[in-house]
Structure 1
Amino acid sequence: MHKPSYYMVNAITFYRLLAAPMLLTLLFNEQLDIFKWLLAVSFLTDAIDGYLARKYKVTSVFGSILDSVSDDLTIAAAIIGITLVNPEFLKKELVLVAIQVVLFVTQIGFALSRYGKISSFHTYLAKFVTVFQAIFMVLFYWLPEPVYALFYLVSALTILDLMEEIALVLIIPKWETDIKGLYWVIKKRALQKA
């Protein structure tokens, strides 16, 4: 493992972890202009750290967990922001948001129960969904009105992703990271049985 690259990648991820409470502080102090820039930077670092970790082959269990926690905190800060900036949007879409929250909490609960820690599968679908979540969240704060079509697309993809992750927790007996997805896990199990 190339130590300087390992530390650089984790430092980028750690920035996102530290940025989450700063994002909340900015929100509660009504500093929306700074908040939306910092949120965009946080989402950008999510794309950068994963790419660099794979490029320099410095993935680790610690890095995977740090990345997952940092992602969740960034999304949580963005969602809290939605409730403060545009509560009417949240009220209008409460059922769809509640479904996603219930699935997310279920997935976390299953992972903690089964593995003793949160999952860090980083499936293809999760990576794809994260891009669209970031686009929606950033645009939410930059545009005068939410992009509803994008919100519905992101919600559908997020629900699929969370259902896949719940299934993976139920299928995979030991904690693993960097799983391609449910299809590949089932295919691998079928080949092992053959």
Structure 2
Amino acid sequence: MFVNLAHKRSYYIVNAITFYRLLTAPLLLTLLFYERLSIFKWLLIVSFLTDAVDGHLARKFKVTSAFGSILDSVSDDLTIAVAIIGIVLVNPAFLRQELVLVVIQVFLFFAQIAAALFRYRKISSFHTYLAKFVAVFQAVFLMLFYWLPQPVYILFYFVSALTILDLLEEIILVLIIPKWETDIKGLYWVIKKSALPKV
């Protein structure tokens, strides 16, 4: 019974951390519109840090779940979306200059969501190795964007290339994986697994 209580407590703690990120997204958006950038950029850092913490704790205490996985994905997407809206408000010239790359990424993002909703009736939550890798660099670029006087263009192009690869991989995964799954390592491992002889 003690183990069950400890497990439940860990489950609630991990999801509470994720909920923080979900609930902070509208607050971040409000801060942007009221031009409270000094508070916004600190809270944005906290949100990105909670993304690293909740995933690590979920795996450590073995409290991963379908609900937690979807909650994490939605919270991540909202945090990134708010940070991108901030780019539009804070430095619209940067957005105009890099509009093609941004449009490609936004299109692929919504295409992936549409494909998952059509196939699984809910958003995907693969959490591939590539997605985790990309998330780190997205967070680094977006945080630096608000702290440095000029955007780091080399990092932006690197992150954009990785993001496009990640979204293409996730679209392909939606097309080839018949049922909703989470914690998929990546396309290579799915293909490798399907190529193994059936026992």
Query: Same fold per TM (> 0.5)?
Result: yes
Q: Which whole-Å deviations, capped at 9, do the CAs of 1:122-168 have from their partners, x for residues lacking one?
A: 00000000000000000000000000000000000000000000000
Equivalent position of 1:89 in the other structure: 94
User: How far apart are 1:193 and its partner, in Å?
Assistant: 5.2
Aligned equivalent of 1:170, options 175, 182, 192: 175
Distance between the aligned counterparts of 1:95 and 1:184, measured in 2? 32
Distance between the aligned counterparts of 1:192 and 1:51, measured in 2? 33
Q: Normalised by the size of structure 2, how large is the TM-score?
A: 0.96
Letter in 2 for 1:144: P
Aligned equivalent of 2:124, options 114, 119, 122: 119
Equivalent position of 1:67 in the other structure: 72
Identity %: 80
Structure 1 regions of 5+ residues with no counterpart? none
Equivalent position of 1:108 in the other structure: 113
The CA RMSD over aligned residues, in Å, is: 0.9
Runs of 4+ more than 2 Å apart: none
Q: Normalised by the size of structure 1, how large is the TM-score?
A: 0.99
**1:133 maps to 2:144:** no
Aligned residues: 194
Q: Which whole-Å deviations, capped at 9, do the CAs of 1:55-114 have from their partners, x for residues lacking one?
A: 000000000000000000000000000000000000000000000000000000000000
**1:56 maps to 2:61:** yes
Q: Which whole-Å deviations, capped at 9, do the CAs of 1:1-33 have from their partners, x for residues lacking one?
A: 611100000000000000000000000000000
